[in-house]
């Protein structure tokens, strides 16, 4: 009997040791001197040496990638999941609604807001508990309040991912505890973050350093887990994350002047590396890039090119050779895009179009490309389309040309 009790005690101690690790989420024993990490990382070389398994820096204005490492690989995302959770809540709930905490919510492990079964709290305060202290209990409570259950809420998350074109992301929970079918990519997480930050309430929540929630009428002050918020110039959000499967994760929004970026690091070995990598990438982006007005540049080049190529096209069997061209309206040219500073003095454009076409030519027919580059480095590329129609000569056209003394440029069309 004593031997059995001894084995039971050993098993109990073992479970105590492994359970926090199995369900860890934003609970880190490691403490760092954030200001020292920032100071050291901001002096890094121009091309950053990154510890994180995957990362990306995305320009919010143009959605261009400024730096990437395995940015399209599927990986676990830990509590950065809660970016999607918050958006689903904000788009489907009244924030002043008071809800009651279920037993399931109260029993959720990992990082917690500290909810107990039967507690009363508003949706708004749950959102602050979700995003500031990364409460997994708050995540489950929100999911149950909005959709009735975690699986039903996950369906809403996946539907939103499809709507946003996040084809390499899949959600199984509102909190992000490790699961093989719960994943995203650094790039798609940046796109999701960019979408979320357009919501004023979300923007305000993730930019809050400290906030006091009310649970059962009693106040509780929360602090944001984002170590860069309030410490690195320009940072205004958005979310940390940590599980054993995902390692340390951080999504950061930073704006300086007119440049606004999102930095995502996933899979850093330590909190120190997470901070260093984020600072290195952010400093690299602001030191390396500046905005270039590509819309004005491209539009001026198009006008100049058409003025200097008035008789560029020969349209076989066409009623005319006077064809107008345009850029594809689906290109969605940002007025300005980030370009490496060293490339800007040597930016040039080229148009590649076959001048010999066959009638008929219809509006929006693809004709060629306009390429913007510098020193052999591609900056942007745009499709060029027909902006007019050239119909094919018919019998009556040939008769008219014959009796009028057809123009020489149509000789090959007639004979």
74-102 pLDDT per residue, tens: 999 999 999 999 999 999 999 999 999 99
b/e 224-257 (16+ beta carbons within 10 angstroms → b): bbbbbbeebebbbbbbbbbbebbbbbbbbbbeee
Name the residue with higher pLDDT: 411 or 88. Answer: 88
Q: How confident is the model at residue 72 (pLDDT cuts 50, 70, 90)?
A: very high
| Those residues with Cβ within 8 angstroms of residue 394's Cβ, 6 or more apart along the chain or in another chain | none
CA 65 – CA 263 distance, rounded (Å): 10
User: For residues 393 and 319, is the Cβ–Cβ distance under 8 A?
Assistant: yes
CA 64 – CA 285 distance, rounded (Å): 12
Quick one: pLDDT at residue 22? 39
Pairing state between β 314-316 and 356-358: parallel
Please tell me whether residue 175 adopts helix, strand or coil conformation: coil
CATH architecture entry for 293-414: Sandwich (2.60)
CA 206 – CA 127 distance, rounded (Å): 10
CA 129 – CA 125 distance, rounded (Å): 6
The per-residue pLDDT for range 141-184, each reduced to its tens digit, is: 999 999 999 999 999 999 999 999 999 999 999 999 999 999 99
Mean pLDDT across 192-197:
98
CA 384 – CA 174 distance, rounded (Å): 44
E-assigned strands of 34-128? 54-59, 65-69, 98-100, 120-122
Quick one: pLDDT at residue 12? 47
CA 72 – CA 90 distance, rounded (Å): 27
DSSP 8-state class, residue 44: -
Closest C-alpha to 340, from 299, 372, 374 = 374
The per-residue pLDDT for range 217-255, each reduced to its tens digit, is: 999 999 999 999 999 999 999 999 999 999 999 999 999
Please tell me whether residue 5 adopts helix, strand or coil conformation: helix
Domain ranges of the chain: 36-288, 293-414
Which segment of 139-148, 287-296, 360-369, 391-400 scores lowest on mean pLDDT?
391-400
User: For residues 171 and 165, is the Cβ–Cβ distance under 8 A?
Assistant: no
Quick one: pLDDT at residue 334? 73
pLDDT of residue 400 exceeding 90, the answer is no
> How many residues does the structure list for the chain?
415
Task: Domain 36-288: give its CATH superfamily.
Answer: DD-peptidase/beta-lactamase superfamily (3.40.710.10)
CA 71 – CA 398 distance, rounded (Å): 59
Phi, psi torsion values for 82, nearest 5 degrees: -65, -10
User: For residues 308 and 300, is the Cβ–Cβ distance under 8 A?
Assistant: no
CA 318 – CA 316 distance, rounded (Å): 5
DSSP 8-state class, residue 276: H
Q: What global pTM score does this model have?
A: 0.85
CA 92 – CA 109 distance, rounded (Å): 25
CA 10 – CA 13 distance, rounded (Å): 5
Q: Mean pLDDT over all residues of the chain?
A: 89
Residues classed as catalytic: 79, 82, 134
**Could you give the angle at the alpha carbon of 215 between the alpha carbons of 211 and 218, nearest 5°?**
85
| Those residues with Cβ within 8 angstroms of residue 112's Cβ, 6 or more apart along the chain or in another chain | 133, 135, 136, 137, 138
- Token pair for 29: 């024993």
pLDDT of residue 391 exceeding 50, the answer is yes
- Token pair for 395: 């019998």
| Those residues with Cβ within 8 angstroms of residue 155's Cβ, 6 or more apart along the chain or in another chain | 147
């Amino acid at each position: 009997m004593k031997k059995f009790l001894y084995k039971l005690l050993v098993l109990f101690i073992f479970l105590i040791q492994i359970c926090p690790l199995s369900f860890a989420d934003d609970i880190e024993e490691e403490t760092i001197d954030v200001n020292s990490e920032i100071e050291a990382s901001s002096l890094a070389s121009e091309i950053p040496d990154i510890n994180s398994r995957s990362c990306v820096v995305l320009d919010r204005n143009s959605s261009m990638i400024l730096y990437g490492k395995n940015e399209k690989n599927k990986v676990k995302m830990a509590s950065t999941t809660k970016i999607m959770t918050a958006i689903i809540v904000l788009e489907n709930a009244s924030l002043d609604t008071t809800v009651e905490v279920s037993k399931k919510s109260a029993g959720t492990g990992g990082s917690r807001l500290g909810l107990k079964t039967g507690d009363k709290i508003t949706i708004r305060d749950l959102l602050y508990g979700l995003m500031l202290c990364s409460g997994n209990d708050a995540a489950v409570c929100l999911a149950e309040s909005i959709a009735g259950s975690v699986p039903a809420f996950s369906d809403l998350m996946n539907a939103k991912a499809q709507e946003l074109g996040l084809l390499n992301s899949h959600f199984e929970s509102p909190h992000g505890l490790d699961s093989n079918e719960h994943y995203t990519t650094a790039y798609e997480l940046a796109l999701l973050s960019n979408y979320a930050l357009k919501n004023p309430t979300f923007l305000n929540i993730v930019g809050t350093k400290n906030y006091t929630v009310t649970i059962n009428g009693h106040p509780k002050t929360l602090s944001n887990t984002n170590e860069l918020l309030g410490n690195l110039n320009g940072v205004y959000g958005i979310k940390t994350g940590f599980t054993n499967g995902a390692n340390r994760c951080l999504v950061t929004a930073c704006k300086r002047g007119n440049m606004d970026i999102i930095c995502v690091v996933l899979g850093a070995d330590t909190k120190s590396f997470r901070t260093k990598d984020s600072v290195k990438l952010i400093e690299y982006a602001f030191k390396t890039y500046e905005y270039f007005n590509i819309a004005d540049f491209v539009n001026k080049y198009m006008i100049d090119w058409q003025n200097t190529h008035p008789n560029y096209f020969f349209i076989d069997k066409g009623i005319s050779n006077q064809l107008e061209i345009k850029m594809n309206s689906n290109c969605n040219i940002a007025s300005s895009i980030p370009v490496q500073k060293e490339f800007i003095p040597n930016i040039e454009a080229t148009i590649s179009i076959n001048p010999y076409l066959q009638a008929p030519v219809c509006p929006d027919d693809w004709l060629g490309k306009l390429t913007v580059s510098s020193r052999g480095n591609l900056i942007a590329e745009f499709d060029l389309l027909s902006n007019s129609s050239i119909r094919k000569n018919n019998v009556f056209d040939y008769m008219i040309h014959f009796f009028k003394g057809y123009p020489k440029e149509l000789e090959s069309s007639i004979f």
